Structure 1
Amino acid sequence: MRLRTLSLVTLLLVAAVAPVSGAAAVGSNGFEQQTTTTQAQACSFPYSATDATGTEVTLDSDPDRIVTLNPSAAQTMWEIGARDEVVGVSQYAAYLDGAAEKQNVSGPNGASVERVLAANPDLVLVPSSSYGASKDRVDQLRAQGVPVFVFGEGTSLAYVANKTERIGRLTGNCEAGAEVANDVRDSVSQMRSVLEDEEKPVGLNYFYGYTSGSNTFIGDVMTTAGLRNGAAEANVSGFAQINDETVVEMNPEYVVAPEESPVPANEAWNSTTAIREGNVVRVNTNYLQQPAPRSVDAAETIMRAVHPEAYEEYQQIQTGNGTATGSEASDATAAETTTTVVVDDTPPESETEAGTEPETGTETGADSPGFGVLAGLVALVGAALLAARR
């Protein structure tokens, strides 16, 4: 539920109130040309940036062939409208529409160097967990002269926004990357604003024996959605195993779990408020487990379950019209489509490769000159805002 038409809205409103004259038209065109030129200069190549490994990565020209070694990077490319530039994805990005058309670069135990090289990439994007499991493969790719950019571990939705902006810059999609990043920031700010005075119940994220403690982006998703992170309050840091004794002491009021991942049904868990009251919030696996723009959708799912009234207020801010339409309700439901969880022996790091990939108008009349045009533009703005939601 993110607003993706801010630039369009701004231009429409400027056009609506600007005087219709030759001078104004020239001035408007001049401003647009200046903005375009500035943006082009800011997004020019060659470009160099230092990645999480301390390596300076230099791109001599705008990369046209991108390989993503984890689904979070792929999801980000999809969200900034650059999926056509992606030529290779990991097997866990299969949920993304059109991913089946890309080269699968996964091997038996992670990325296949041979498959990555066969895709002839101009740039390889490597999230932190992939690097941790495949450092030697990154070294092999770099030895072949392939630019590889490794990201650090995500610990918050702010990180997700910054990473989105960085991917936009690296791939020459600066404007789109910045727009989606700001959508994430705006949505987070709006959620926190409507939840400011709400009582925050204790929540616990659970995934096959592991939980998300402090300094995790899933923990930040939960607190942004109006929960307290019980694991963090129990001094759990990062992604770590959690035992029954801690669960009983914590007594979570809500359990947040990826779809289809089991929640224990033993005596300890059954004694908690969350299980006794049926407060298990199931979230799309690919949105909850990947530090990418759709993490906001995960936060929205949690918020809707825990704070339904605040969620409605948030939804009104997002749509800009004060009411939720039937299509919007359908979109919210669609965000919870069942996915398949892929389980292995590793803990769910910040980028666990688990998972599989969301109009109305009012016609107003007036006799005064120009009012009909302005009203039409305002109606178009409203429709654009509605259509921009997932």
Structure 2
Amino acid sequence: MPHPRPTLATLLLLGVLALAGCADREEPAGTEGDDSGAFPVEVQAEGAPAVTLETRPERIVSLSPVATETLYAVGAGAQVVAVDAVSNHPEQAPTTELSGLNPDPEAILAHQPDLVVVNADLENKLADALAPTGTKTLVLPAAATLDAAYRQFELLGTATGHRAEGEDLARRTREDLAKIVADTPEPEQPLTYYHEVDETFYSVTSTTFIGQVYDRFGLTNIADGDDPNAAGGYPQLSAETILRADPDLIFLADTVCCGQNAETVAQRPGWDTLTAVREGRVVELNDDIASRWSPRVVDFARAVSEAVTTAVAGTSE
């Protein structure tokens, strides 16, 4: 992918590649005793190695923005001693210059972690480098489905001694999302949409985690084409393809990174003729919320719900 932005498009694509071939395989989030804080525990994310934690980790380094959000959401924030440079939520997370894309074992070990959480660890290079110090590496690949995301919530709860909180977070997120979808009016005819990852027209298909959220609302993805699995679910469209499809809704997930908004979209050659532009249905999303399989997926769903509700109200007038 030619666009250099590591906080969104690149990170998404790397996560998808790390997960390739594993999206349909279901594995338990982890096993432990009856007590939420019982150790040792063995945890394993889909498409990643199993990790045994002998004791509750008290010094966690997170090199994944999704993991950072989830750690705080399950109540493990006090155990987090450092996070990577793009982990910007919540505000109290101890952000450093560490990189999840190019992890530096020496810089990581300077924080004296007993657990490091990463999005990907090709050939176990980081795990092998940290193992002699007794530091465990937990890999959490990109979640390809909502259910996989929920399992990661449970897994991080188990791994950090907050099993009940992880299970509760998964349950609440699932229920909140279901309620948002149920409360959203259904259009008489299916609405089409275009989700923009960056201004070079990279998008997502229905096979991705993001696309699955849209699917819950019955929306039709113009990026699916003849093969929704093409390009790992992250194809680059052409302006001509988008203009020809004339989507009812446009969702911009490049407002922060690339300064895109309803006005810049309308200024693109020919885009002022699109239904979504003419009807004021260009939705400006927060880049991070619209790209992370974190508990904030509920906020993403609310934004989609509001857009669908507005569109339905407009077509019924």
- Same fold, judged at TM 0.5 (above): yes
**Residue equivalent to 1:298:** 300
Q: Structure 2: how far apart are the matches of 1:184 and 1:95?
A: 17
Q: Structure 2: how far apart are the matches of 1:108 and 1:59?
A: 21
Q: Which amino acid aligns with 1:150?
A: V
Q: Indicate which of 149, 152, 161 corresponds to 2:141.
A: 152
**Residue equivalent to 2:8:** none
Q: Structure 1: how far apart are the matches of 2:275 and 2:111?
A: 51
Give the SS at the match of 1:305. helix
- The answer to whether the Cα contact below 8 Å between 2:153 and 2:166 also exists between their aligned partners in 1 is yes
Q: Structure 2: how far apart are the matches of 1:59 and 1:108?
A: 21
Q: Structure 2: how far apart are the matches of 1:197 and 1:84?
A: 43
Question: Are the structure 2 counterparts of residues 40 and 108 from structure 1 closer, same or farther at C-alpha, using a change threshold of 3 Å?
Answer: closer
> C-alpha displacement at 1:268, in angstroms?
4.4
Q: Structure 2: how far apart are the matches of 1:174 and 1:107?
A: 28
**Residue equivalent to 2:287:** 285
Structure 1 residues without counterparts, runs of 5 or longer: 1-37, 312-390
Whether 1:98 aligns to 2:92 is: yes
**Residue equivalent to 1:239:** 234
Q: Which has the higher helix share?
A: 1
- The answer to whether the Cα contact below 8 Å between 1:244 and 1:268 also exists between their aligned partners in 2 is no
Q: Which amino acid aligns with 2:59?
A: R
> C-alpha displacement at 1:256, in angstroms?
0.8
Identity of matched residues, %: 27
Question: Are the structure 2 counterparts of residues 275 and 239 from structure 1 closer, same or farther at C-alpha, using a change threshold of 3 Å?
Answer: same
**Residue equivalent to 1:214:** 206
Write out aligned runs for 1:103-252 (5 A): 104=96, 106-107=98-99, 110-128=102-120, 131=121, 136-195=125-184, 197-199=186-188, 200-208=190-198, 209=200, 210-233=202-225, 235-237=227-229, 238-252=233-247
TM-score by length of 1: 0.62
- The answer to whether the Cα contact below 8 Å between 1:51 and 1:57 also exists between their aligned partners in 2 is no
Q: Structure 1: how far apart are the matches of 2:48 and 2:303?
A: 36
Question: Are the structure 2 counterparts of residues 123 and 146 from structure 1 closer, same or farther at C-alpha, using a change threshold of 3 Å?
Answer: same
Q: Which amino acid aligns with 2:105?
A: V
- The answer to whether the Cα contact below 8 Å between 2:43 and 2:158 also exists between their aligned partners in 1 is no
Question: Are the structure 2 counterparts of residues 169 and 308 from structure 1 closer, same or farther at C-alpha, using a change threshold of 3 Å?
Answer: farther
Q: Indicate which of 272, 275, 282 corresponds to 1:273.
A: 275
Deviations along 1:109-160, one digit per CA (max 9) or x if unpaired, are: 63332221111112111124xx36x963344224543211112321222222
Q: Structure 1: how far apart are the matches of 2:100 and 2:227?
A: 36
> C-alpha displacement at 1:219, in angstroms?
1.0
> C-alpha displacement at 1:236, in angstroms?
3.8
TM-score by length of 2: 0.75
Give the SS at the match of 2:42. strand
Question: Are the structure 2 counterparts of residues 271 and 309 from structure 1 closer, same or farther at C-alpha, using a change threshold of 3 Å?
Answer: closer
Question: Are the structure 2 counterparts of residues 123 and 216 from structure 1 closer, same or farther at C-alpha, using a change threshold of 3 Å?
Answer: same
- The answer to whether the Cα contact below 8 Å between 2:176 and 2:298 also exists between their aligned partners in 1 is yes
Q: Structure 2: how far apart are the matches of 1:236 and 1:269?
A: 24
Question: Are the structure 2 counterparts of residues 206 and 234 from structure 1 closer, same or farther at C-alpha, using a change threshold of 3 Å?
Answer: farther
**Residue equivalent to 2:26:** none
Give the SS at the match of 1:307. helix
Give the SS at the match of 1:212. coil
Q: Structure 1: how far apart are the matches of 2:118 and 2:211?
A: 22
- The answer to whether the Cα contact below 8 Å between 2:283 and 2:307 also exists between their aligned partners in 1 is yes
> For structure 1, which segment, 227-236 or 77-86, has the greater mean C-alpha deviation from structure 2 after superposition?
227-236
Deviations along 1:283-327, one digit per CA (max 9) or x if unpaired, are: 22221111100011011012112215999xxxxxxxxxxxxxxxx
Q: Structure 1: how far apart are the matches of 2:53 and 2:59?
A: 12
Q: What's the C-alpha RMSD, in Å, of the aligned pairs?
A: 2.8
**Higher CA-based Rg:** 1
> C-alpha displacement at 1:91, in angstroms?
0.9
Q: Structure 2: how far apart are the matches of 1:40 and 1:97?
A: 33
> C-alpha displacement at 1:108, in angstroms?
10
Pairs aligned (count): 269
- The answer to whether the Cα contact below 8 Å between 1:226 and 1:303 also exists between their aligned partners in 2 is no
Give the SS at the match of 1:293. coil
Q: Structure 2: how far apart are the matches of 1:249 and 1:299?
A: 27
> C-alpha displacement at 1:176, in angstroms?
0.9
**Residue equivalent to 1:84:** 78
Give the SS at the match of 1:298. helix
Q: Structure 1: how far apart are the matches of 2:135 and 2:101?
A: 21
